[in-house]
Amino acid sequence: MRLYNTMTGQKEEFMPLEPGKVTMYVCGPTVYNYFHIGNARVFIVFDVVRRYFEYKGYKVIYVQNFTDIDDKMIKRANEENITVKELGDRFIREYFEDAEALGIKRATVHPRATENIDNIIEFIKKLIDKGYAYVVDGDVYFDVSKLDDYGKLSHKNIEDLISGARVDISEKKDDPLDFALWKAQKEGEPGWESPWGVGRPGWHIECSAMANRYLGQTIDIHAGGPDLVFPHHENEIAQSEAANGKPFARYWMHVGFLNVNNEKMSKSKNNFFTVRELRQRYNPELIRFFILTSHYRSPLNFSLDLLDQAKNGLERLHNGFDNIKFFMKKANKNNSALTAEEMGFIEKIDSYKKKFIEAMDDDFNTADAIAVIFELIRDCNSFIGEGINIQVVEKAYDVLSEFAGVLGILTEKEELLDENIVKLIEEREKARAEKNWALADKIRDELKEKGIILEDTPSGVRWKRA
């Protein structure tokens, strides 16, 4: 397996710290609102990365945090006249509703920043004791000047970072790039007791402390959105490596930027979409499918028109998979020997499995992996029909189920045809065999009213949903 490492700017062979085990930390949402389509891309992509590692036999320890204390949360909680905890509790529940609708598996651990205050304080103490942080009027800042390699993730030098970065300018700081580890309590803000007075943690220290607690001082993969490279991930590296004297993460993964209608997503431009809003109009599986049809590092343009266009592709996959399930009930189950053609097709299915793995091994190329699924569905539609040996159909079903499980798609319909519809299709085939065309047409029309479209082919009847 090879993956692109933001730190080195190139693809590298993946070698875990511990054989057979992968530790992953993915930056989660700030829980003051529903998460948007840009967040969804991050969460879906790294859910697939996790699923693929598990498919390959790795034990994955997957941590995704909730930032449940920051300026945005305090502002909204005050606007709604509720506590920050009440706001966080509410939108963590909403996160899980939307994430599960998108097929995103729950992390091994979903830590909250507010549940890790003691760990954060101990982490800050360590940095102060080692001379990497200083205290000013109850605030604690990290001293960037103590590091020779600050900026190594974003590949920028200090001057560039100062002139063009999103840095918090404060007269209290020794240097514009120094960042807050602890913020003294202001009026109307929640706070916790600390050696420096009542206050709350800075954003960056939260993730370092939680990654350290749940995954250790060095982790395999740290991941997130492109906007987190600087300052968030850069600062995580600075404080983690200063505290522990070890590399923080061996591989850094970031998704590409997502634009909406070829523009940066913005509420002022009326092109801001939350997943909750999109779910009112679209099947969430379609959102997931659309995101996975492009390589995760490529810029992605999102629009409702493009989402509508993706429907046909997802429908083709569902119809093909549905047909395979249908023919499993009609296949030859008498354990007869495979024909040469059937044996050749089973070998072809194996070749598609190899192509799928090659695509995913090459930096998790879901676009190419989905193309492999389309090719396999196409060949199955052409080959699988009446009288096919059950071994062929089961092989196709098993391999497609593996592919679908890795990508988290084609899972919405457990039982695709109820027994009554299967019986009607069989009755129509019998009527056609007896040349009872009136009855065959009547059954076809009845099925169409139920949303099932039939297609008669040389290899047998096929069906799809209207």
Among residues 450, 435, 335, which one has the least CA distance to residue 390?
335
Helices then strands, each counted (H, E), the chain: 15, 15
Check whether 274 has a pLDDT greater than 90.
yes
Tell me, what's the pLDDT at 449?
86
Helix 366-383 × helix 284-292 angle, to 10°: 110
Check whether 303 has a pLDDT greater than 90.
yes
* pLDDT mean over 57-83: 97
Check whether 259 has a pLDDT greater than 70.
yes
d(CA 220, CA 327) in angstroms, rounded, equals: 44
d(CA 64, CA 224) in angstroms, rounded, equals: 10
pLDDT tens track for 234-245: 999 999 999 999
pLDDT band at 125 (very low <50, low <70, confident <90, very high): very high
d(CA 366, CA 256) in angstroms, rounded, equals: 14
d(CA 371, CA 358) in angstroms, rounded, equals: 12
Cα of 339 vs its chain's centroid, Å? 42
> Was domain 2-255 assigned CATH 3.40.50.2000?
no
Tell me, what's the pLDDT at 133?
98
Least confident residue range of 182-191, 432-441, 455-464? 455-464
Give the mean pLDDT of the chain. Answer: 92
Residue where the block lists tokens 């083709």: 316
Q: Which helix H or strand E contains 290, and what residues bound it?
A: helix 284-292
Check whether 418 has a pLDDT greater than 70.
no
Check whether 453 has a pLDDT greater than 50.
yes
Instruction: Please report, rounded to a whole number, the percentage of residues in the chain having pLDDT higher than 70.
Output: 94
Cβ atoms 200, 191 nearer than 8 A: yes
The top-scoring range by mean pLDDT among 108-122, 252-266, 309-323 is: 108-122
First to last CA, the chain: 40
Tell me, what's the pLDDT at 167?
55
The token pair at 331 is: 């296949």
* pLDDT mean over 244-250: 98
d(CA 459, CA 466) in angstroms, rounded, equals: 21
The domain limits of the chain are 2-255, 419-465
Could you tell me which residues are annotated as the binding site?
27, 207, 232, 236, 267
Residue where the block lists tokens 């057979």: 20
Q: What is the value of pTM for the model shown?
A: 0.89
The residues, any chain, with a CB within 8 Å of residue 93's CB and separated by 6 or more, are none
pLDDT tens track for 30-44: 999 999 999 999 999
Tell me, what's the pLDDT at 414?
43
The token pair at 365 is: 């190329």
* pLDDT mean over 91-116: 97
* pLDDT mean over 369-375: 98
Could you tell me which residues are annotated as the binding site for Zn(2+)?
27, 207, 232, 236
* pLDDT mean over 436-451: 89
- Amino acid 327 reads F
pLDDT band at 276 (very low <50, low <70, confident <90, very high): very high
Instruction: Please report, rounded to a whole number, the percentage of residues in the chain having pLDDT higher than 90.
Output: 78
Could you tell me which residues are annotated as the binding site for ATP?
267
Tell me, what's the pLDDT at 415?
44
Among residues 118, 142, 119, which one has the least CA distance to residue 131?
142
The token pair at 60 is: 């994955």
Check whether 100 has a pLDDT greater than 90.
yes
On the CB side of 296, how many CA atoms lie within 13 Å of its CA? 31
Beta strands, E only, 272-414: 300-302
